[in-house]
Amino acid sequence: MNDNVPTASPRKPDLILLRDPAESAPPLVDSFQRRITYLRLSVTDRCDLRCSYCMPERMTFLPKKEVLSLEELYDLATGFIARGVTKIRITGGEPLVRRDIIDLFTALGRRLGHDLAELTLTTNGTQLATHAEALARAGVKRVNVSLDTLDRAKFAELTRRDSLPQVLEGIATAKAAGLKVKLNAVALKGVNEHELPDLIAWGHAQGHDVTLIEVMPLGDVEEERLDQYLPLDDVRARLEQRWTLRESNHRTGGPSRYVDIAETGGRLGFITPHTNNFCAGCNRLRVTATGQLYPCLGGGERVDLRAALRSDAPEANLAAALDEALRIKPEKHHFRMDARGAAPAVPRHMSMTGG
Residue numbers at the binding site for ligand SAM (CB under 6 A): 47, 53-54, 91-92, 94, 122-124, 146, 184, 186, 213, 215-216, 218, 350-351, 355
Contact partner, 255, from ligand SF4, ligand SAM, none, Cβ < 5-8 Å per class: none
- Backbone angles phi and psi of 68, in degrees to 5: -65, 145
Residue 211 binds: one of ligand SAM, ligand SF4, none (C-beta under 5 to 8 A by kind): none
Name, in order, each residue with C-beta under 8 angstroms of 147's C-beta and a sequence gap of 6 or more. 125, 167, 171, 183, 184, 185, 199, 203
Which residues of this protein are in contact with ligand SF4, per CB under 6 A? 47, 49-51, 54-55, 92-94, 124, 146, 351
CB-based contacts of 299, cutoff 8 Å, min separation 6: 330, 333, 334, 346
Q: Which residue number, 81 or 210, has a Cβ lying nearer to ligand SAM? A: 210
Closest separation in Å from C-beta 199 to ligand SAM:
13
Give the distance from CA 257 to its chain's centroid: 16
CB 347 within 8 A of CB 35: no
Return phi, psi of residue 273, to 5°: -60, -25
Q: How far is the CB of 99 from ligand SF4 (least distance, A)?
A: 17
- Smallest distance, ligand SAM to C-beta of residue 65, A: 22
Q: What are phi and psi of 342, to 5 degrees?
A: -70, 150
C-beta closer to ligand SAM: residue 84 or 231: 231
Query: Min. distance of Cβ 322 from ligand SAM in angstroms?
Result: 23
Q: Of ligand SAM, ligand SF4, none, which one sits near residue 288, judging by CB under 5 to 8 A according to partner kind?
A: none
Comparison of 77 and 158: residue with beta carbon closer to ligand SAM? 158
d(CA 252, CA 250): 7
Shortest approach of ligand SF4 to residue 310 CB, angstroms?
26
Which residue, 93 or 255, is less far from ligand SF4 as judged by CB?
Answer: 93
Order across the sheet with 87-91: list the strands.
245-247, 257-261, 266-271, 209-214, 180-187, 142-146, 118-123, 87-91, 38-42, 284-287, 292-294, 303-304
